[in-house]
Structure 1
Amino acid sequence: MRYAHAVETVRAAEGELMARLPEGALMQRAAAGLAAACRDLLGRTYGARVVVLAGSGDNGGDALYAGARLAGRGAAVTAVLLAPERAHRGGLAALLAAGGRVADEDRAAALIGRADLVLDGIVGIGGKGGLRPAAVPLAEAARESRAAVVAVDLPSGVDADTGEVLGDAVHADATVTFGTYKPGLLVDPAATLAGAPRLIDIGLGPYLADPQLEALQNADVAALLPRPEGSSDKYRRGVVGIAAGSERYPGAAVLAVSGALRGGAGAVRYAGPGGDAVLARHPEVLVSAGAPAGAGRVQAWVVGPGLGDSADARRAVADVLASSVPVLVDADGLRLLSPEAVRGRSAPTLLTPHAGEAAALLGRSREEVEARRLDAVRGLAARYGATVLLKGATTLVAEPSSRAAVRVNPTGTPWLATAGSGDVLSGVTGSLLAAGLSPLDAASCGAYLHGLAARLASRGAPLSALDVADALPTAWGSLSS
């Protein structure tokens, strides 16, 4: 599992650890790890041209000390101090003693243009809002240069706790973070600016309290996925019901069923008007043309993809919500439910909106949701008393409790932004619900498998939603090898 902690938690852990270490030891650990990461990126240190953008905080000190270590290995290191009178004295002295130099800001753009690596130590994890005006030209010069841009702990100008970007910010190729990941490194829009994150262990682990975010890794998902035993039959493996599709959108039914069949379900019951299309693709499905209530026994329901807003669609949503099994509500189904209907259920409910659907449920704009994804997914989970999977470039899963960590999905590819891919996700996640996983684990594992399948199916090229469904068994199998 990969964890991310809030700034307040990190600060408290740092305080506890520093009380047990000699003065300055913690910063030296961070600087050593940062310098090593920079050497890896450079390939060769001797003769490399490095520019350190140093602010007045501890991140500026980390950057200056790392610059000193690189200068000691033969790099030509120049520091640009954004607040010279408040620069970290020890870090600056170490840099100058190792042969580094200091340059005025009016020379910074030219130096950055010739650099092999730029270290962003402008603002630390406590920074709020975008970059200050004096730093904006430096961030722009770094972005336009051929240099590798390495952020110290977090790209300057992004919010460490929320992933918000409220102004200009540094665009990093890599971010070297210390002790634990920060939420802004894992959640868009900030995650897009962080490049490849690298965690340096500085000994904070024993002092860190509960995380704000967590991300499953291969081993975590493999341990959660249900697997048949010798005594298993199709019913013990889980029967998932799919109430999806309409005369106008029969393909949504096919896609949701495809995801469910390849998501481990022992059997799939389909209820709705898309039965002919479903059987043409999947003859093993149990099809009912009537309402979900008459479709037969299931262990979980998926309702909503391609359903429309007809009277039959409303009845389908009402039938499913009235059931005593876990329910996943997606797409059109989200427009046909109320917080009261969800809160009144005796069984768990999982909502899977994209940003536009989440905006409608929250009464916000899509832009607000995309800018504040953590706040949006938590707000939805609290309002509906349900687990919420918020789809997007970084998919988030939140439970109703404000104390529970939000899960962020690390798999996927931009090619996954294609019509019908969400229907496949609903199917595979619904099958995991039917197999007995909790809504949190079903949503997390479903998103993980879905993203992994997309990577395998795409390999850098366009793909269709059915391609993703067809790659699910390979993705599942890769977690067992």
Structure 2
Amino acid sequence: MRTAYSVESVRAAERELMARLPDGALMQRAAAGLATACAELLGRVYGARVVLLVGSGDNGGDALYAGARLARRGAGVAAVLLSPERAHGGGLAALRAAGGRVSADADRDLARADLVVDGIVGIGGRGGLRPEAARLARAARESATVVAVDLPSGVDADSGEVHGDAVRADATVTFGAYKPGLLIDPAREAAGALRLVDIGLAPPAVADVEALQHADVAELLPRPTAESDKYRRGVVGVVAGSARYPGAAVLAVAGALRGGAGAVRYVGPAADAVLARFPETLVHAGPPGKAGRVQAWVIGPGLGDDADPLDEVLAADVPVLVDADGLRFLTPERVRARTAGTLLTPHAGEAAALLGRGRDDVEAARLHSVRELAGRYAATVLLKGSTTLVADAAGPVRVNPTGTGWLATAGSGDVLSGVTGALLAAGLPARDAGSVGAYLHGLAARRAAGPTGAPIRASEVAGHLAAAWRDVQD
């Protein structure tokens, strides 16, 4: 599992480690890892042209010491000092001793650079870059490969928010532990490829943010035994679709069937369309309370403008996933009154409506928004988007690392609701069901899009869920 920790937690761990190490040893460890990563990106160090963008903090010191190591291997290294009077003295001396220099013409050096190292602002930075730093960052991006030290300058390490101009890196070398902002958009996109350098840090036992990997998902996947029947595997009820949107019902049922459900009970007006595609579905005209036994409900995809459909489903003493049109009828009071688990799966626009703010505000502050929603509704919230987040009232926020931009297609959310509902019915807690569902959904989309990427349909995502499941187990 990839775990990320707040700036406060990382700083505390650094202080504890530095108290046991010789002065400057921690910075040397970071610089050594940074220099190694830069050398690998360059391929050939001797004769390469490297420019360091150096701010006044420890990140600038890391960049200078790493530049000294590269200079000793034959690279031509120039340091652009954004605050010359506050540059790290030891690092600057080491660079000069190794044959590096302070740039007298930043624009000329950047135009000739093979690699630019961003050491402008560290993890304690707040707000965007100042105008001159922003100009240099743009020039670097246009001419060379950019490597960020610890995180791209101008992004918020704790939240992933970007307030103003920021460096856009091709790669980020981070030290000791991941920071939440490196895993969450919009900062994640600015970070490029991530590399974690071990400097001996001992972070706290509980992370602020975590991202599951194959092995974690494999441990959570439900597996039938010889004694299993459809009820032990989980029966999921699906209330979805309408005369206008019958396809939403078909896609939600597809996700549920391919997400491991022992059986799917469909309730709604799209029964003919569902049965034509999936004859194994159990259909009922409704209401949901008369449809038969289920271990979880999914409600909302494609319901349209019909009257409030939530009462019977929310009254059930089983987990409920509310998506799409079902979210329009939610209030915190209706959700808080439930005793069983509730999982809400909004996209940014739906989350904005639930929070009473603009969509852009939600997308700019995804981590804050998902936490606020989980607290306000006393529910688990899966916030869909470029980085899908899963949060509940306690524990780290989960960041989904799978997916592709091609997943932004009509009906993909209906498939996600179905597979996640099946996992709820199998007995996974809402936080795990949301995390595993999003992970499998993203893997299936990658398989559908192929290795080079191509347009996909939501039904193709559903069709690749079984293969994604096998990928995780293998």
TM-score by length of 2: 0.99
Decide which of 227, 237, 242 is 1:241's aligned counterpart. Answer: 237
Once the two structures are superposed, residues 361-385 of structure 1 have per-residue CA deviations (whole angstroms, 9 ceiling, x without a partner) of: 0001000000000010000000000
Aligned equivalent of 1:66: 66
Runs of 4+ in 1 over 2 A off after TM superposition: 207-210
SS in 2 for 1:256: helix
Cα distance in 2, alignment partners of residues 209 and 265 from structure 1: 34
SS in 1 for 2:117: strand
Cα distance in 2, alignment partners of residues 56 and 310 from structure 1: 60
Indicate whether 1:20 and 2:20 are aligned. yes
Aligned equivalent of 1:308: 304
Cα distance in 1, alignment partners of residues 226 and 275 from structure 2: 29
Cα distance in 2, alignment partners of residues 18 and 337 from structure 1: 50
Quote the offset at 1:208 in angstroms: 3.0
Amino acid at match of 1:296: G
Aligned equivalent of 1:140: 138
Indicate whether 1:285 and 2:285 are aligned. no
Cα distance in 2, alignment partners of residues 426 and 454 from structure 1: 15
Once the two structures are superposed, residues 375-424 of structure 1 have per-residue CA deviations (whole angstroms, 9 ceiling, x without a partner) of: 100000000000000000100000023xx210000000000000000000
Once the two structures are superposed, residues 421-476 of structure 1 have per-residue CA deviations (whole angstroms, 9 ceiling, x without a partner) of: 00000000000000000000000000000001000110101100001000000000
Decide which of 268, 271, 278 is 1:272's aligned counterpart. Answer: 268
Q: Note if contact 1:122-1:156 (Cα within 8 Å) is conserved in structure 2.
A: yes
Aligned equivalent of 2:195: 198
Indicate whether 1:231 and 2:206 are aligned. no
Aligned equivalent of 2:458: 465
Indicate whether 1:405 and 2:384 are aligned. no
Indicate whether 1:167 and 2:160 are aligned. no
Cα distance in 2, alignment partners of residues 400 and 250 from structure 1: 35
SS in 2 for 1:120: strand
Alignment of 1:290-369 (within 5 A): 290-311=286-307, 314=308, 316-369=309-362
| Root mean square deviation, CA, Å | 0.7
Cα distance in 1, alignment partners of residues 205 and 115 from structure 2: 35
Amino acid at match of 1:396: L
SS in 2 for 1:150: strand
Indicate whether 1:216 and 2:216 are aligned. no
Cα distance in 1, alignment partners of residues 207 and 59 from structure 2: 22
Aligned equivalent of 1:429: 420
Percent identical across equivalent pairs?
74
Q: Note if contact 1:60-1:123 (Cα within 8 Å) is conserved in structure 2.
A: yes
Aligned equivalent of 2:436: 445
Indicate whether 1:120 and 2:118 are aligned. yes
SS in 2 for 1:197: strand
Q: How many residues align?
A: 472
Aligned equivalent of 2:385: 392
Amino acid at match of 2:253: V
SS in 2 for 1:248: coil
Cα distance in 2, alignment partners of residues 478 and 143 from structure 1: 36
Decide which of 172, 175, 179 is 1:178's aligned counterpart. Answer: 175
Amino acid at match of 1:26: L
Quote the offset at 1:210 in angstroms: 2.5
Quote the offset at 1:112 in angstroms: 1.1
- Please, which runs of 5 or more residues in structure 2 have no aligned partner? none
Cα distance in 1, alignment partners of residues 269 and 471 from structure 2: 36
Cα distance in 2, alignment partners of residues 281 and 153 from structure 1: 50
Q: Which one is further off, 208-217 or 29-38?
A: 208-217
Aligned equivalent of 1:42: 42
Once the two structures are superposed, residues 304-361 of structure 1 have per-residue CA deviations (whole angstroms, 9 ceiling, x without a partner) of: 00012312xx1x3111101000000000000011110100011010000000000000
Quote the offset at 1:480 in angstroms: 1.4
Once the two structures are superposed, residues 141-200 of structure 1 have per-residue CA deviations (whole angstroms, 9 ceiling, x without a partner) of: 01211x110000000000000111100000000000000001110001111100011100
Cα distance in 1, alignment partners of residues 205 and 443 from structure 2: 30
Aligned equivalent of 1:372: 365
Once the two structures are superposed, residues 55-113 of structure 1 have per-residue CA deviations (whole angstroms, 9 ceiling, x without a partner) of: 00000000000000011111111000001111001111111000001113xx2122111
Once the two structures are superposed, residues 223-268 of structure 1 have per-residue CA deviations (whole angstroms, 9 ceiling, x without a partner) of: 0000111111111100000000001000000000000000000100
Indicate whether 1:92 and 2:92 are aligned. yes
Cα distance in 1, alignment partners of residues 252 and 40 from structure 2: 44
Quote the offset at 1:217 in angstroms: 0.4
Decide which of 457, 476, 479 is 2:472's aligned counterpart. Answer: 479
Q: Which one is further off, 149-158 or 288-297?
A: 288-297
Q: Note if contact 1:301-1:328 (Cα within 8 Å) is conserved in structure 2.
A: yes
Amino acid at match of 1:265: A
Cα distance in 2, alignment partners of residues 351 and 295 from structure 1: 23
Q: Note if contact 1:309-1:336 (Cα within 8 Å) is conserved in structure 2.
A: no
Q: Note if contact 1:3-1:215 (Cα within 8 Å) is conserved in structure 2.
A: yes
SS in 1 for 2:390: strand
Cα distance in 1, alignment partners of residues 111 and 445 from structure 2: 38
Quote the offset at 1:120 in angstroms: 0.1
Quote the offset at 1:209 in angstroms: 4.8
Amino acid at match of 2:107: A
SS in 1 for 2:241: coil
Indicate whether 1:81 and 2:87 are aligned. no
Quote the offset at 1:291 in angstroms: 1.6
